[in-house]
Chains A and B, each alone.
Chain A
Amino acid sequence: MSLLIAAFGFGLVSMSVIALAAVGFTMQFGITNMINLAYGEVMITSAFFAYYLNQAHLSIWIAMLGGAAFGAVFSFLINRFVYAPFQRRGTVLIYMVIVSLAVSLMIANVMLPIVGYFSVSYRERFSLLLHLGSIALTINQIAIIALAVAVMLAVHALLRYTRLGKAMRATAANPMLARNCGIPTQRVIDLVWLITGALCGFAGVVAALDSDSFTIASGAGFLITALAAAVLGGAGQPYGAMIGAVIIGLVTELSAAVWSPDYKQVVAFVILVLVMVLRPQGLLARRGALAAAG
């Protein structure tokens, strides 16, 4: 029993990491209609950017902000110079997926000679262990949970209570109509790429910190869990992604405790398959947060 409670503690950390990654991914899809398969690679690239800052004697928490800024700029540039031109040409969705996969491949292999095959770790990877009953978490892990909660609340506030959030939701619901109503959809989409890119970079650093050591090859794994949470919640819906992250985080950690940690991704995949067979539209059936009210 105490094993399960301990696993629950790790589940809290996992779901925080996954939620950070999945919300950005799903917002990109919901608002810009782009399944960005390069998301995992942008995550890991940002994590490496933060790693170099960290090596330059910056604290990981400051390096994390650097990673987020890097992710924002990088995602923005990818959209500006690759995705947006293809979308303007009217490339169908399915070819956009191929385009993003090609971009993903290119990022991974441009990075490979730069950062090497070897796995690296942040300097602050060890931190004090705190015990709360059977749950034992490090200060880092508790900080990750707190950060994730803060970011989720910020996303919620952004979408619900700001003009920009409203404009994003309008753009997601119907870009043409939004434009006709005087919303500068192009600028909104640029901002979306910056914001989701920042989330992506942030998530990358957090995921890398959480997994002790990481290599450039970790990007594909990051992508799969983010994808699974986003699809589970209903692609394009930030709140769905948060719910998806909670479920996937818990289930993968519990399965790791009772079965084997080697198959965490496989469990996430099984959830994904079940959702795709039983409820392909995801848990939140209607277009929720991103669609216009009513």
Chain B
Amino acid sequence: MNSYYLVNLLIFAGVDIIACLALNLQFGVSGVVNFSFIIFQAAGAYAAAILSMPPDTAPDFSFQTYVGGYQLAFPLPWIGGALAGALLAVPVGLVALRKLRSDYQAIALLVTSIIANTVINNARPLLNGAAGVANVPQPLSDQLNVSIQTYQFLYVGVTAICVAIVWFLAARIVNSPYGRTLRAMRENETAVAALGKNPTALKMTIFIVGGAIAGLSGAILVGFLQVWAPSTWLYPETIILFAAVIVGGRGNNVGAILGALLVPLGFEEVTRLLGRMNIGPPTLIPALEWVCIGLLILGFLWFRPKGVVPEQRRVFPGAPAVEEETRWVVGKGAR
């Protein structure tokens, strides 16, 4: 029981870290406010589910309806999940990121997230509607002849490897010339365009990379939970991740990881503990949790907009000293 709980916690930590790293690349590093982030995680989860499940005519699966069902071997569903996230990012990005002003982009993406959920919720033949897909096979669980406990720790290990790969990748992106261009775009899009960079192309690439990573996080999650339904990817889930990146320190991978551990995970834990104490009606604690997430966002944007671990100033050797206030101030920039 206890070890199951620990495993649960570690997997969620891993998934949240991966998701926050991806969101940090988009929101923190590039300034793309992706309010539809969670749909990319959902796309990855659904893709991984249908790639690993048998067709819905199979005996144990006939209580649900879904497209596909390919029974692919282990790494393929996860790769498929990442691919699905990346593929979904293409049309969404083409609509939202091309012509619109940044605040329009944000609301367009938010609406996309809400509508995508409505569609999947109502269109039952596609992915089993509101009930969602269940009985998703755990990767390699039938090939590996180990106890449940060992299997769970193996799962944690694989998740940790994925976290390490994503972290490495994110660090490479942040520190590369490409990452520098992304940061420049975040600070001043017009200036970047004037230097011959194409902001739309930059946004599209990071949107797709982030989408792929989000898809991977969904695939990891669904392989462990074995269920995935529209109620698990409502738009407020994206806001939690935003809160995590804002609290941790946007534009900063370490900040994103810290945020992932503090906000989604920390809150989950606190609510669970409070939930045991039976305070008030059952809806009270989860509702208060959301209120706290809102307060956390407002509080950090007001008191500490750079987060717990502020992004480091990157200074070229020999560059003239710049006043601290002139960069990465929330108040800077034209609308």
Contacts and interface: CB of A to CB of B under 8 A. Distances in A.
Contact of B280 (A93, A113, A277): A113
A35 interface: yes
B201 interface: no
Contact of A280 (B33, B104, B287): B104
A94 B33 contact: yes
A116 B283 contact: yes
Contact of B301 (A91, A109, A220, A266): A91
B contact patch SS: helix
Given A90-B330, A92-B335, A269 B111 contact: yes
B333 A109 contact: no
B288 interface: yes
Contact of A105 (B99, B100, B290, B301): B290
A110 B111 contact: no
Contacts of B73: none
A105 B122 contact: no
A243 interface: no
Nearest to B246: A98
Given A106-B290, A276-B95, A97 B295 contact: no
A103 B239 CA distance: 11
Given A105-B239, A116-B283, A265-B118, A91 B331 contact: yes
Contacts of A35: 103, 107
Nearest to B280: A113
Contacts of B66: none
B40 interface: no
B157 interface: no
A263 interface: yes
B182 to A, nearest CB: 16
A280 B100 contact: yes
SS class, residues of chain A in contact with chain B: helix
Contacts, number: 130
Interface residues of B, number: 51
Given A37-B107, A110-B287, A280-B100, A102 B239 contact: yes
Contacts of B284: 113
Interface in A244-286: 262-263, 265-266, 269, 272-273, 276-277, 280
A103 B294 contact: yes
A266 B118 contact: yes
A106 B294 contact: yes
A277 B110 contact: no
A91 B280 CA distance: 37
A136 B287 CA distance: 41
Interface in B50-74: none
Contacts of A82: 298
Given A89-B330, A224-B111, A276-B108, A102 B294 contact: yes
Contacts of A206: none
A117 B38 CA distance: 24
A118 to B, nearest CB: 11
A249 B100 CA distance: 24
Contacts of A265: 114-115, 118
Contact of A276 (B96, B114, B301): B96
A86 interface: yes
- Of B99, B102, B243, B291, most buried by chain A (CB within 10 Å of CB) is B291
Nearest to B335: A93
Contact of A95 (B110, B280, B287, B301): B301
Interface string A71-85: 000000000001001
Interface of B: 31, 33, 35, 95-96, 98-100, 102-104, 106-108, 110-112, 114-115, 118-119, 122, 235-236, 239, 242-243, 246, 280-281, 283-284, 286-291, 293-295, 297-298, 301-302, 305, 330-333, 335
Given A35-B107, A105-B236, A109-B291, 7 more contacts: A33-B335, A92-B333, A105-B290, A105-B293, A109-B294, A113-B284, A276-B108
15 contacts: A37-B107, A85-B302, A90-B332, A92-B330, A94-B106, A98-B246, A105-B293, A106-B290, A109-B291, A113-B281, A113-B284, A116-B283, A227-B111, A228-B111, A277-B95
Rank and list the top 10 A-B pairs by shortest CB-CB distance, nearest first. Answer: A90-B331, A106-B294, A109-B290, A102-B297, A102-B294, A109-B287, A269-B115, A112-B287, A262-B122, A280-B99
